[in-house]
């Protein structure tokens, strides 16, 4: 075989190797999003702070803001949480205040006093955000061995749950993920790649990031205190003869059913620490009967008792 044919053969082998490496892509599968919780679960209202980047990464991406945005997106998609924005709250409040200006028309103004308060704050820490070349890969083409290196990316996060009311740390969960790719990735290959974009998520570090975020959301779903949905009086007419319940067909209410109404419950707290120990149900103050049911509300009338108020508990009648 002359030198020309040898060179042509080497070029063919090299091109074939490139195709194999390029087409093989990342070997790590994406973790599926968290499953929605049952309907009787009341989603907690949460907010997410900017992540603290404690990894050695100091490249083109602002990991603190970017990772927080990815977590917020995944929390919303899970439908297990109500997420409120705190990073841009000054812009929201500013827009509401601006609408009160006399230069703006009165029609269509955003009502004040309707912003939701957060029950829990999620504080994130990036412990590791790295990608390195690992073990060698070898391909045999026409009795010729050619080598390359596999890239391995790793992302590690700590998500801390803080109770806004008490300031206590409810829990702290760890989330990490790794991804491998057949083919070496170098820093220059990420130039111009937008963090969180389609190209980013096709890379080993992008897959590791997505899996770490999704794993973290699943752990948050397990760790956050759950609050079951409670049937309550949503509205009472001025005469007290017309009552609306905060559930309808979606909650299994049916016409003609009788329910008991309980008064204000009593919280039992520890006298030395002030911690909540238990909640005693309020006394039964009367009964109501369901007259008609819609998708999300039920209409009722009193059977006996009085002084019914919004927020009182609707309980099965004995």
The whole-number pLDDT of residue 14 equals 45
The whole-number pLDDT of residue 182 equals 64
pLDDT (average), residues 224-253: 92
Least confident of 36-50, 134-148, 237-251, 286-300: 134-148
pLDDT in tens, 108-155: 888 888 888 899 999 999 999 988 765 443 344 444 444 445 678 899
The whole-number pLDDT of residue 66 equals 93
The whole-number pLDDT of residue 144 equals 44
pLDDT (average), residues 164-177: 93
- Assign 183 a pLDDT band (cuts: 50, 70, 90): low
Going along the chain from its start, the domains and CATH numbers come out as: 26-88+116-223 (3.40.50.10610), 233-316 (2.40.10)
The whole-number pLDDT of residue 57 equals 84
Strands 266-269 and 258-262: unpaired
Residue with the bigger pLDDT between 229 and 184: it is: 229
Torsion, Cα 223 119 227 266, to 10 degrees, reads: 130
- Assign 248 a pLDDT band (cuts: 50, 70, 90): very high
Q: CA nearest 309: which of 285, 289, 292?
A: 285
Least confident of 38-42, 211-215, 264-268: 38-42
- Assign 15 a pLDDT band (cuts: 50, 70, 90): very low
Strands 82-83 and 45-48: parallel
Percent of the chain at pLDDT > 70 equals 83
């Amino acid at each position: 075989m002359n030198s020309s044919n040898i060179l042509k053969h080497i070029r063919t082998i090299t091109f074939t190797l490139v195709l194999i490496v390029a087409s093989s892509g990342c070997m790590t599968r994406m973790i599926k999003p968290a499953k929605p919780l049952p309907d009787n679960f009341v989603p907690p209202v949460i907010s997410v702070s900017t992540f603290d980047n404690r990894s050695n990464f100091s490249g083109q991406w602002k990991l603190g803001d970017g990772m927080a945005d990815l977590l917020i997106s995944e929390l919303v998609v899970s439908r297990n949480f109500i997420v409120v924005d705190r990073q841009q709250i000054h812009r929201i409040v500013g827009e509401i205040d601006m609408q009160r200006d006399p230069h703006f028309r009165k029609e269509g103004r955003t009502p004040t006093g309707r912003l939701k308060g957060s029950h829990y704050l999620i504080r994130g820490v990036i412990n590791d955000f790295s990608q390195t070349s690992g073990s060698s890969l070898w391909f045999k083409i026409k009795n010729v061995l050619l080598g390359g290196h596999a890239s391995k990316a790793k992302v590690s996060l700590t998500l801390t749950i803080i109770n806004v009311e008490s300031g206590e740390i409810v829990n702290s969960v760890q989330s990490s993920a790794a991804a491998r790719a057949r083919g070496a990735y170098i820093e220059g290959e990420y130039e111009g790649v937008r963090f969180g974009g389609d190209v980013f998520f096709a890379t080993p570090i992008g897959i590791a990031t997505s899996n770490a975020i999704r794993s973290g959301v699943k752990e948050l779903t397990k760790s956050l205190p759950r609050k079951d949905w409670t049937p309550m009086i949503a509205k009472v007419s001025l005469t007290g003869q017309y009552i609306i319940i905060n559930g309808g067909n979606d909650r299994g209410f049916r016409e003609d059913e009788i329910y008991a109404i309980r008064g204000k419950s009593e919280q039992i707290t520890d006298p030395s620490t002030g911690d909540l120990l238990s909640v005693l149900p309020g006394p039964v103050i009367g009964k109501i009967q369901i007259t008609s049911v819609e998708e999300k509300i039920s209409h009722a009338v009193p059977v006996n008792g009085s002084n019914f108020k919004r927020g009182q508990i609707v309980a099965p009648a004995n």
